Amino acid sequence: MITAAETCDFVNNVVCKPENVNSLFEFGNFGSSDISRTEILILLAAIIPVVLMFFGLRKKSVVPGRLQSVIESIFTFVKDEIALGVIGRGGEKFTPYLISVFMFILVGNLFEVTPLINFPVTSRMALPLFLSLVTYVIFLFVGIRTEGIKYFTNLLWPPGVPVALKPLVGAIELVSVLLVRPFSLAVRLFANLVAGHVMLSLLLASAYFFVVQPGVGEYIISKAPVGLAWFTLGLAIYGFELIVSILQAYIFTLLSAVYIQTSLHPEH
């Protein structure tokens, strides 16, 4: 990011503007290949958790080491608190999916605060959209398998709704559950990570440019405190984004479980 910015001519151009906002989130391809940095990072978001899980669970020792403890805690947390805690009976079937979602999103999110990467792959719509569509398909499938075609009628007109309200409730439920739900699930994750990434980029890059103003020597001393202030704020937001990364992975997994639960146990 810094390198790219330094190509800007600050003396003649007051504002260095990229051609498109998307260029903030897009990177060039590796060498002459067709694979972009984002795609490599997406694959890394799969390889890293797989490697961590492999080394964490390989020994199967009764007295766990550090990595094994961490991986075991994550697994048992998702299994006990989300899969069994939220879905309840029958939740164990969805444990592999929920653990995968959590690990994948967590690592993808944590790229945001990983030095030298500083780019959450979940801030690209592809991942949140794909994962929320998988959740969508799962909860529709589970609903149809549990209740048959009645799933849709119960969904649109929950038992006990007066006949007069049925059109209104049906319309609301149709939009909120079948249309908006997958989209909101995806956008919640996506928007949080985009906002975090933009904020961090702004603060830390501002800090950099106020302290090291390329090409203008005397600028440094007068503006340096402003840069340091930006940097301090940037560091605080950095810690905040670390929490957001973990929290958003948890929220996505939790909501997936909640949606599956409503389909699996419609009586609740």
Partner 1 sequence: MMFYLDTFLAEAEESTSGVDLLLPATSELVAGVVAFGVVFFFVWKWALPALNETLDKRSSEIEGQIKEAENTKTEAEKSKQEYDALVSNADAEVQKIIDEGKQAAEKIKEDALSEARAEAEAIIEKAKSDSDAEKERVSSELKSEVADLSLEISQKVASSMSEADQKKLIDKFIKELN
Paired with 29 in beta bridges are 36
Q: Which is nearer to partner 1, 54 or 172 (CB)?
A: 54
156 belongs to the binding site for partner 1 (CB under 8 A):
no
Q: Give least dist CB 1 to partner 1, A.
A: 5
Residues 55-84 contacting partner 1, CB under 8 A: 57-58, 60-62, 64, 68, 71-72, 75-76
Task: Tell me the two tokens of residue 111.
Answer: 């790229």
Output the CA torsion sign for 257, 259, 263, 267.
positive
Residues 194-253 that bind partner 1 (CB under 8 A): 194, 198, 201-202, 205-206, 209
Distances in whole angstroms, Cα of residue 26 to Cα of each of 22, 37, 45, 124, 193 = 6, 8, 17, 9, 15
Beta carbon nearer to partner 1, 38 or 114: 38
22 is an interface residue for partner 1 by CB under 8 A: yes
Secondary structure of 73-87 in HEC code, one letter for each residue: HHHHHHHHHHHHHHH
Using CB under 8 A, which of the segments 10-18, 138-146, 148-156, 255-263 binds partner 1? 10-18
As measured in angstroms, the least distance from the Cβ of 95 to partner 1 is: 6
Selected binder of partner 1 within 95, 253, 261, 263 (CB under 8 A): 95
Tokens at residue 104, please?
């994948």
Shortest distance (Å) from residue 186 CB to partner 1: 9
Q: Is 154 in the site for partner 1 (CB under 8 A)?
A: no
Quick one: which H or E segment has residue 220?
A: helix 219-264
Distances 28 to 39, 169, 249 between C-alpha atoms, Å:
11, 48, 27
| Residue selected from 18, 88, 158, 167 as contacting partner 1 according to rule CB under 8 A | 18
* Angle at which helices 95-110 and 219-264 cross, to 10°: 170
- Least CB distance to partner 1 at residue 230 (A): 11
For residues 8 and 25, give the distance between their C-alpha atoms in angstroms, rounded to a whole number: 18
Binding residues for partner 1, rule CB under 8 A, total 61
Token readout for 219 is 């600028």
Instruction: Please name the helix (run of DSSP H) or strand (run of DSSP E) that holds residue 128, with its range, or none.
Output: helix 126-147
For position 130 contacting partner 1 by CB under 8 A, the verdict is: yes
Contacts of 48 (CB under 8 A, 6+ apart): 107
Smallest distance, Å, CB 255 to partner 1? Answer: 17
**Does residue number 20 form part of the binding site for partner 1 (CB under 8 A)?**
yes
Quote the Cα angle for 83-186-103, to 5°. 45
Binding residues (CB under 8 A) for partner 1: these are 1, 4-5, 8, 15-18, 20-25, 34, 36, 38-39, 42-43, 45-47, 49-50, 53-54, 57-58, 60-62, 64, 68, 71-72, 75-76, 95-97, 99-100, 103-104, 124-127, 129-131, 134, 190, 194, 198, 201-202, 205-206, 209
